[in-house]
Amino acid sequence: MANTILIGAQWGDEGKGKIIDVLTARADIVVRSQGGNNAGHTVIHRGTKFVLHLIPSGILRRGKICVIGNGVVIDPIALVAEMDGLRRLGIKIDNNLLISDCAHLVLPYHRLLDEQRELRKGHVKIGTTKRGIGPAYGDKAARTGLRISDLMQPILFSKKLQAKIRENNSILAALGAEPISFREVNESYLAAGEKLRPFAGNTVVYLHRALERGKEILFEGAQGTFLDIDHGTYPYVTSSNTTAGGACTGPGVPPHRMDRVVGVMKAYTTRVGEGPLPTEDRQFAEMLHNLGREFGATTGRARRCGWFDAVATRYACMINGIDELAVTNLDGLDTVDPIRVCVAYRLSGKRLDVPPCDAAQLNNCEPIYAELPGWRKSTHSARKFSQLPAAAKDYLKYICKLTGAPLSIVSVGPARGQTIVV
């Protein structure tokens, strides 16, 4: 399989967790490169639904090593809770998890600042997951963050934490929020730190040694291309590089060690949170929600839904250098007829083939649609491409051609087996 970067080609929640789980069968190591517990990756394993937030989805399969790389922001309390939750469900976590000591920490003041900033933004809020991700990456870029390596040195950590809490309490007071207790945070973080100690270390060296030994690595992207801090619909984005480059910088593996990029996209479009979504369609969303589909894995919020947007995915294909496409949730379209596909945008009378940089302009883009016939049949039980209805095959070929990369996987249900390798 070689070294594979898997990224979301849309606005997150493309079904990356499910595809990672399928590809993990052939990988030795699974790596999270960026993001934090804003991610929610769903995997159905032995009939049980798991939602992974910080731990790579590979943890569910025995014999696979999971790495949380330098570029991830870690809430130690949330990570320990996730580990405990997995263990309760019978998942082994010991020498199969490594955590970079360079990864930055998410602290309680990050979560409070995230919440306060959103409150103050009012109707122009980002719609964050309120996990403190933006403020944590903000501290990292400002070079005032605390890292796992600090947490591993209790005396040093307490000293740095005290100064940080003092500073952040005055900001929180100015925002009208309650102050944070140094004592409580210090105690709970140091306790979590002790639980994480056996897993912390230099993951860069580990990954490079593994590469030298010919191990195959799967880089599990979090979020999606249009939530990327540099390439997404700014400011309605997350605070990390969710695109393929982030899979190199986050874990410290150079580009020429990567062999392929798999882009995951839904057969339609969804977004959770605010910001432009040109193909949004409320009726289509209602239909999916009535089926119990498209509720966020992290926050439970109803996802906004729309038609497949080929302008967006074509751009994603370019930024990420997507070699292969995995299309998920094909079955979401099983009852829809006709099916619309956005082939271009119209803005102020002009046709656009790439999304504009400005979020307000993107918001004003009117989709130009092509209409394709639906198949009006269940695709859930198809296991080979040839078993799909002719209209479904035509639809897949059409959206992949517009996106600009060959189709390699089709997903027709959440379970591992509901997968077609093309």
Active site (catalytic) residues: 13, 41
Q: How far is the CB of 70 from ligand IMO (least distance, A)?
A: 18
134 near ligand IMO (CB under 6 A): yes
17 near ligand GDP (CB under 6 A): yes
126 near ligand IMO (CB under 6 A): yes
Per CB under 6 A, the list member of 32, 41, 271, 314 interacting with ligand GDP is: 41
Q: How far is the CB of 346 from ligand GDP (least distance, A)?
A: 30
Cβ proximity of 326 and 19 under 8 Å: yes
To the nearest 10°, the Cα dihedral for 129, 131, 134, 139?
180
Q: Which listed range, 10-18, 29-37, 132-140, 376-384, lies at the site for Mg ion (CB under 5 A)?
A: 10-18
Q: How far is the CB of 333 from ligand GDP (least distance, A)?
A: 10
Q: Which listed range, 90-98, 121-129, 316-324, 393-401, lies at the site for ligand IMO (CB under 6 A)?
A: 121-129
Q: Which listed range, 25-33, 40-48, 60-68, 69-77, lies at the site for Mg ion (CB under 5 A)?
A: 40-48
297 near ligand GDP (CB under 6 A): yes
Cβ proximity of 326 and 8 under 8 Å: no
129 near ligand IMO (CB under 6 A): yes
Per CB under 6 A, the list member of 6, 18, 199, 310 interacting with ligand GDP is: 18
223 near ligand IMO (CB under 6 A): yes
40 near Mg ion (CB under 5 A): yes
Residues that bind ligand GDP (CB under 6 A): 8, 12-18, 40-42, 297, 328-329, 331, 411-414
